[in-house]
A = this chain, B = another copy of it.
Amino acid sequence: MAKIADIYFKVDPWKIVEKGFDPAYARVSESVFSLANETMGVRGSFDEGGSVDSLRGFYVNGVYDIENLNKSYRGIVDHTHFMIPAADWLRTQITLDGEKLDLGKVSFRDFERTLDMREGTLTRSFVWKTASGKEVRLTFLRFLDMIRRERAYQRITLEALNFTGEIALSCGLSFDTLHEGYKKCFWTDTRTETKPGKIEMQSRTTLSGQEVYAAVALGEAGESADACGEKTADINMTLLLRQGQARHIDKKAVLLFNGKTGEALWSDGAAALAETQRVSLDDALKAQREYWDAWWATSDIQIEASDGEDMEAVAAEQQGIRFCSFQLAQTYNGGSKRHNIGAKGMTGEAYNGHAFWDTESCCLPFYLFTNPQAARDLLLFRYNTLPRALERAGMLDCKGACYPIATLNGEEGCALWQHASLQLQPSTAVAYGIWHYVHLTRDEAFLWEYGAEMLLQIARFLFSRAAKSGKSGKYGFYGVMGPDEFHMMVNNNAYTNYMGKRSLAYAAETLIRMRALKPEAFAALSEKTALLPEEIAAWQDMADNMYIPCGENGLIEQHDGYFDLPHTEISEIPVSEFPLYEHWSYDRIYRTDMIKQPDVLMILYLYNSSFSEEVKRTNYDFYQPRTIHESSLSPAIHSILAAEIGNMDDAVRFFGYATRLDLDNYNRNTREGLHITSIAMAWANIVYGFAGLRGDTQTLRFAPRLPARWKKLGFSVLYRARVIRIDMETAGTFFRLVKGEALPVDVYGKNYTLTDELFVPAI
């Protein structure tokens, strides 16, 4: 990999720290310092705005607007939807001696910004020195309530260092932030009401017609609250600062998006605001710390450097792992079945807030082993959007349900037909996700109530999309784009065929079991979906006769003709040509054996126990040197498989990238937002890679392989109402059940029973 770290932030076990402010990193910092609570998100934008380069981002999960596209061919979307910035509840203006605070223009020192992952707060402080010589220390604190998720808090602390006098402060709220790509504000018909110390607004998106209520309330009243513009309002006040005495202003915000509109929403919003006003910021912060304490207790991963190793580097890894876990938990932690996990979460506008198949393929393991309820809720998002997937299959002249490659609301939002029409992996990933969830949790109620129907419609789609080779008579998928997006319109992509085969077989098996075990539910489902008995048999037949292009040596051909392709020596591509999509002619990317991200290897990762170690080694050794990792989820998959085949050099080499992907801006695009779904792979990299956890057989398997640079690696996993604590040390791995009944496990291929007593299996 030609990609290298761009180191800017300070290393600290629990904090991300920026000391001094470098304007060149303004947007990177803004992304890294993002906060979210699943319901809303905010980039690390300066409260006071100003002329510093910024993507000012305040998002409410599920809020989007629509663009109508030119009519094109059938099956190509004619409109798309995209996350838009919502209410700016941090809006602040400060003026001293006629000088307006703007870090792009004024003099300041001692700048420090800190994201504290133990309490989910962002703090920024600096000393502002005016042209008139006055010095004020300003500290801005913000956090989003993890429990009452419509609530957000801001505290501005002001301390005059060398004078006593007045300072003008204006605390506001606005719906005027422009979407950066469209250079447009999508909010319309804004209702604004101000009362002393309080601003309430409600606004509507232009085409999607969604409404959001937003309000801010201060502890103090201020001198005036004027609707300054159509979509902005501010509470203006003059504060007397006494030298050496800090004073603060607390601002509480409510952002409510509950599907209601008009007066109904306004009234819910006003009630929520009144409730919020009754809680002090300090009490909210205390509850916040407790929330995160509890979360880290079961979800934290700890590592320690071996003696003689680079302590700082391992400390950076520790920090990186925590950052990944923290961001993922902030973005999605379950509760809502209306939301999924956007590729960039709520940290930027790139990818339009859309969720991809990354959710099921990359993020789900994290939730399955730390928060199974959230995993269930993510699958319910797919169930709730099943009607849209049925429509989409129809647009593609297919039957059943085709899940979208990119979506916020279940509709296909991807305007690039080559992705939207050729990538079947969202649908097979949903089938895989259902299997994975039910297999690990034994939540069969979910399967009968929701899973079976999705599986049925996915199988229908796959069956209608597959075809028979004119020569071999085997089934396959033609004209597809597999996970390796550098090859499109290929035939018999191994991943697509294999996942199709397994999805069809699982659907058939599930429905046959359902018919036997839950005859009434089966009858109801059959009636609802007009299921014919011969369909199940046909799916099974297709699964049995699906073409999997695997030679005798176990080397799987990525797709028909892949082995004939011209070779690209990827080590010879200059770093300056990354990302290739920006530097290479679009079609040039598609013409050689260069692979964007794991495709054959992805099969071996997902259906791990179905392949021998030898097959994994053969395919890893063949495909790894051909992979350019232009997807950020690629290195972790490689690291996990490398660890499994005992290639610890590669395992360590590919590790770290995901862990500090955004902290060290490896892809040079962190400015656009965080790679939320990719950093999910940081967790998997450690737990699947170095601890060798596998959940795809009947017994949970472990095969710990501690990298030499670490002397300790510790973490917990949740599994069937148990908490399993694993501490890998140089001397061996310590297993202990922290909670729950005794559990048989497989460690290094041998069976043990886990209890609440520590045990160290033999290697």
Contacts and interface: CB of A to CB of B under 8 A. Distances in A.
A479 to B, nearest CB: 4
A199 B584 CA distance: 53
Interface string A451-477: 000000000000000011111100000
Contact of A479 (B74, B581, B591): B591
B470 A582 contact: no
Contact of A585 (B395, B467, B491, B582): B395
A588 B467 contact: no
Interface residues of A, number: 44
B479 A590 contact: yes
A568 to B, nearest CB: 9
Contact of A565 (B469, B563, B593): B469
9 contacts: A75-B587, A396-B588, A422-B587, A470-B563, A470-B567, A479-B590, A479-B591, A489-B590, A491-B564
Contacts of A395: 585
A490 B565 CA distance: 11
The binding surface of chain A is classed by DSSP as loop
Contacts of A75: 585-588
How many identical chains are in the complex? 2
Contacts of A467: 566, 591-592
A491 B561 CA distance: 9
A74 B72 CA distance: 21
Interface string A74-104: 1110000000000000000000000000000
A642 B489 CA distance: 32
A73 B561 contact: no
Contact of A478 (B76, B560, B565): B565
Nearest to A586: B73
A265 to B, nearest CB: 35
Interface of A: 72-76, 395-398, 417-418, 421-422, 467-472, 478-479, 488-491, 560-561, 563-567, 581-588, 590-593
A73 B436 CA distance: 37
Nearest to A560: B561
Contact of A74 (B478, B583, B591): B583
Contacts of A472: 564
B586 A478 contact: no
Contacts of A593: 470
A561 B562 CA distance: 11
A670 B204 CA distance: 46
B491 A584 contact: no
Nearest to A562: B470
A241 to B, nearest CB: 49
A563 B471 contact: yes
A489 B582 CA distance: 20
A74 B582 contact: yes
A479 B561 contact: no
B489 A564 contact: no
Contacts of A489: 488-490, 590
A73 B422 CA distance: 19
A472 B468 CA distance: 27
B565 A491 contact: yes
Contacts of A417: 586-587
Among A395, A564, A583, chain B packs the most CB atoms within 10 A around the CB of A564
Contacts of A566: 467-470, 478
A712 to B, nearest CB: 45
Nearest to A582: B74
Contacts of A418: 418
A418 B467 CA distance: 24
Contacts of A421: 585-587
Contacts of A76: 586
A470 B586 contact: no
A417 B587 CA distance: 8
A470 B564 contact: yes
A397 B479 contact: no
A193 to B, nearest CB: 39
Nearest to A422: B587
B488 A397 contact: no
Contacts of A490: 489
Interface centre among A75, A471, A561 (most CB of B within 10 A): A561
Nearest to A490: B489
